Amino acid sequence: MIMILLSFAQPSRLPTFSTRRRRPDISTTHNLNSLWLLGPKRTPILGVQTHYPTPFDVPLPAKCLPFGLTPVAEDLLHDTGATAAVLGGAYALVFTFNNLTQRKLINQGLSRKLVHILSGLFFMVSWPIFSTSTVARYFAAVVPAVNCFRLLVHGLSLASDEGLVKSVTREGNPQELLRGPLYYVLVLIFCDLAFWRESPIGIISLAMMCGGDGVADIVGRRFGSVKIPYNPQKSWAGSIAMFVFGFLLSIGMLYYYSVLGYFQLDWVSTMQKVALVSFVATAVESLPTTEAVDDNISVPLASMAVAFLSFSN
């Protein structure tokens, strides 16, 4: 569904007809301020050469505006539709894995990990279907925010949603929703608002949290007989899987965004930087976790810090 929506991701192909359908035309100077929400839309980020005009960025004649909508109203309509679509995708994902668990086609642990891996990755895949408006990121953030509310309501047992509990908890205790899953969606909100489509930092950090950490669990539980000396709860197999899949999924997501014209990256140095981020994230993930610090906090935070330093020079 996301890929169908993405087919409209190229501005000139959107069914809407604004004359302003151009992505930010960003050059190569270095400006950390634009990392944040109010940074000028057209300033570059962290020296990363981002979008050049592509054949898709063709301004359309003003007479094409539908129903006389102003460009702002057209963007609001566009982003409202995108938000509804991605929200539907989120519900469908959880419903699907709950269904598979109920039918005992997959166990609860694997269901939770696949939801962990796919939610964040699909969320990032969906970002290009939102408009080029400066408020698009806020519309996208509605999706994890609604899920945050959902986790709070059901984690506090203010309402019950057995499907949600079964597909995203280890033991089926609703209070589990208030830890890993809640931290997870809070990190999605933060990376959406702080980095959005304009910086590789958020993309890499989410790929590490979703793809790397998620695959580490699946591989580690199955093949993790040789434990890490300083943490018998974790294994070399799980950590190697975290490093490899964190790296591959980060590069894959960066390539996806570069194909859509958001980044122009020097791939040799980018791979070196992403490998460093993945190594540090893997080391952090391998450490014994405490009640206070969950992997869904430590892994993305460590990834953001290393990616920020790596892509700043």
Ligand X SMILES: C/C(=C\COP(=O)(O)O)CCC[C@H](C)CCC[C@H](C)CCCC(C)C
Work out whether 143 is an interface residue with ligand X (CB under 6 A): yes
- Six token digits for residue 274: 């992403």
Q: How far is CA 179 from the centre of its chain?
A: 19
Q: Which of 234, 236, 256, 254 is nearest to 244 (CA)?
A: 236
CB neighbours (10 Å) of residue 78?
A: 24
233 binds, among ligand CDP, ligand X, none (CB under 5 to 8 A by kind): ligand CDP
Whether residue 35 contacts residue 45, with contact meaning beta carbons closer than 8 Å, is answered with yes
Nearest approach in angstroms of CB 294 to ligand CDP is 7
CA-CA distance, 3 to 143, in Å (whole number)? Answer: 18
Report the distance separating Cα 307 and Cα 311, nearest Å: 6
Judged by CB under 6 A, the residue of 43, 83, 108, 126 near ligand X is 126
Among residues 243, 263, 295, 297, which is the contact residue for ligand X, using CB under 6 A? 295
Is 123 a residue that touches ligand X (CB under 6 A)?
Answer: yes
Using CB under 6 A as the binding rule, whether residue 128 contacts ligand CDP is answered as no
* Residue where the block lists tokens 């944040």: 36
**Least distance CB 220 / ligand CDP (angstroms):** 2
Number of residues this chain uses to bind ligand CDP (CB under 6 A): 16
140 binds ligand X (CB under 6 A): no
- Does 168 contact ligand X by CB under 6 A? yes
The token pair at 97 is 């894995």
Decide if residue 74 touches ligand CDP (CB under 6 A).
Answer: no
Say how far apart CA 176 and CA 165 lie, in whole Å.
Answer: 8
Of 204, 298, 191, the C-alpha closest to 253 is 204
Interface positions with ligand X (CB under 6 A): 2, 86, 89-90, 93-94, 112, 115-116, 119, 122-123, 126, 143-144, 147, 168, 180-181, 184-185, 188, 295-296
Interface positions with ligand CDP (CB under 6 A): 180, 213, 216-217, 220-221, 224, 233-235, 238-239, 242, 285-286, 295
